[in-house]
């Protein structure tokens, strides 16, 4: 598929809503089981105290958000959490640490965590901030499946959200991850005060990555008191669904994860997002520091919609979440 320009992505955004959803759903059906959703669990393995100034983040040491600094979890704590996540139906276990980037003494215990989680039969994903080439290679050697590093927004809007590093720094880390042979999980955050053209710019940049990310999280800003973006008005829900649909058209073969902000989304809004092409969620009542729908809520929603979880990145459903008709 040819790379889309920002203007072409904006044209997709401008389609009548029903036409846009129809086109996105057709592309979704061409590439995925439309009733299957990949299920991941996210754990904060090191919380708070980050030196960066990302305007949306509760873990920045620059803001007063009520999030306490916590040291790196032990290997036993992480392994137990991963085991519990697998029992609840997750197929991928994601570990996040609030760092600008890991020092070597930080990375070594994370490598042990990756090996331990993988030994449970789960896919592994980590988000540790910016990486050096040797660190990406070490993660690959430990067997890491995915590295998450969101590009957040369009490069033109980035400096209005983050000033302690550059948008290009994120792209550089993604390049090192790819070169190490690790799959890429990269998406963005919407509702940060950006214009539609900025959302189009974000999607165009994701589509231009070569190869495109295997997993694309689309986060709806969680407005956290104490952060610079904590008082912004909420993004219009229909605009959010449009963003999911346009993303599906731009990255037809990527998993699109309905990520942060889902707890505040009514079931009908989530259902529209699944129809528009979202086919991955975080499962469990907490993300890194923000709440997520409870597992009972997700099971009930899956039942209502006739959805079932994927076994990893295949079309095979797996036991865990209740599957309609089972």
The one catalytic residue in 170, 257, 262, 323 is: 257
- The DSSP bridge partners found for residue 126 are 95, 147
DSSP 233: P
**Residue whose pair of structure tokens reads 């689309």 in the numeric block:** 218
Q: Please list, in sequence order, all residues whose beta carbon lies within 8 angstroms of the beta carbon of residue 305, skipping any fewer than 6 positions away.
A: 35, 271, 274
125 is catalytic: yes
DSSP 50: B
* Whole-Å CA distances, 299 to 181, 257, 293, 294: 34, 17, 10, 9
50 is catalytic: yes
257 is catalytic: yes
The one catalytic residue in 50, 170, 248, 323 is: 50
The one catalytic residue in 94, 170, 248, 273 is: 94
273 is catalytic: no
The one catalytic residue in 23, 54, 92, 273 is: 54
Q: How far apart are CA 41 and CA 310, in angstroms?
A: 14
Q: How far apart are CA 85 and CA 283, in angstroms?
A: 8
Contact 223, 234 (CB under 8 A): yes
261 closest CA partner among 298, 234, 301, 231: 234
The one catalytic residue in 23, 170, 185, 242 is: 185
| First-last CA distance in the chain | 38
* Whole-Å CA distances, 87 to 81, 94, 280, 291: 10, 15, 18, 20
The one catalytic residue in 125, 170, 242, 273 is: 125
57 is catalytic: yes
The one catalytic residue in 23, 57, 199, 323 is: 57
Q: Which residues are catalytic?
A: 50, 54, 57, 94, 125, 185, 257
């Amino acid at each position: 598929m040819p790379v889309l320009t920002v203007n072409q992505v904006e044209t997709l955004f401008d389609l009548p809503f029903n036409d846009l959803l129809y086109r996105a759903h057709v592309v979704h059906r061409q590439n995925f089981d439309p009733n299957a959703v990949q299920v991941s669990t996210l754990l904060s393995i090191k919380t708070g105290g980050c030196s960066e100034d990302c305007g949306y983040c509760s873990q920045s040491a620059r803001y007063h958000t009520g999030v306490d600094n916590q040291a790196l979890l032990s290997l036993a704590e992480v392994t137990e959490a991963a085991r519990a996540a697998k029992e609840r139906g997750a197929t991928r276990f994601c570990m996040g640490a609030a760092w600008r980037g890991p020092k070597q003494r930080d990375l070594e215990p994370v490598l042990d965590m990756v090996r331990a989680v993988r030994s449970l039969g789960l896919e592994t994903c980590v988000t540790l901030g910016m990486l050096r080439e040797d660190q990406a290679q070490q993660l690959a050697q430990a067997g890491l499946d995915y590295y998450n590093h969101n590009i957040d927004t369009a490069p033109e809007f980035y400096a209005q959200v983050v000033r302690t590093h550059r948008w290009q720094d994120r792209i550089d880390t993604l390049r090192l991850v790819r070169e190490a042979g690790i799959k890429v999980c990269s998406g963005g955050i919407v509702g940060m005060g950006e214009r539609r053209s900025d959302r189009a710019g974000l999607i165009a940049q994701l589509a231009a990555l070569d190869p495109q990310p295997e997993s694309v999280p689309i986060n709806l800003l969680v407005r956290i008191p104490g952060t610079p973006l904590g008082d912004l008005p909420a993004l219009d829900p229909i605009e959010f669904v449009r963003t999911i649909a346009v993303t599906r058209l731009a990255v037809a073969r990527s998993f699109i994860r309905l990520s942060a902000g889902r707890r505040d989304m009514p079931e009908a809004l989530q259902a529209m997002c699944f129809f528009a092409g979202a086919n991955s969620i975080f499962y469990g009542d907490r993300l890194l520091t923000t709440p997520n729908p409870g597992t009972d809520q997700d099971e009930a929603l899956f039942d209502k919609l006739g959805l079932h979880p994927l076994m990893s990145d295949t079309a095979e459903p797996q036991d865990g979440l209740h599957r309609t008709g089972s």
